[in-house]
Amino acid sequence: MLLLLFRLVVQNLKEVEGSRKTYRLIGGILAEQTAEEVLPKIQANKDNIAGTIQYLEKALSETETTCDEMRRKYDIRTQDEAIAATASGRNNGPLPNQGVLA
């Protein structure tokens, strides 16, 4: 969503004159600059956001893979999965309603 907004701003700024006044909110302060001054900064911000999104998607994928490996290795199940396994008769561990001392 944020990346789309930056793309729209860059696209619109390419169509206007370079000397046109623009206003940009920087750290809560409204700054007046020209379109040609602002365009490279906004493009750099857009590129940084795109790079951050790619990095976070990659990190999420690696974390999901690690989590799935640990679930298979240590037979970790959610409570719903444990109840379903008990109901279907393929119980590999303690009953979901019982604790250690039960």
Q: What domains, with CATH codes, occur in the chain?
A: 2-88 (1.10.287.370)
* 96 secondary structure, DSSP code: T
Sign of the torsion formed by the C-alpha atoms of 7, 12, 15 and 20: negative
Place of tokens 């906004």: 42
Q: Which residue ranges in the chain fall short of pLDDT 50?
A: none
At 3 the pLDDT is 94
Q: pLDDT (tens digit, 9 = 90+) per residue, 20-46?
A: 999 999 999 999 999 999 999 999 999
At 81 the pLDDT is 85
At 98 the pLDDT is 62
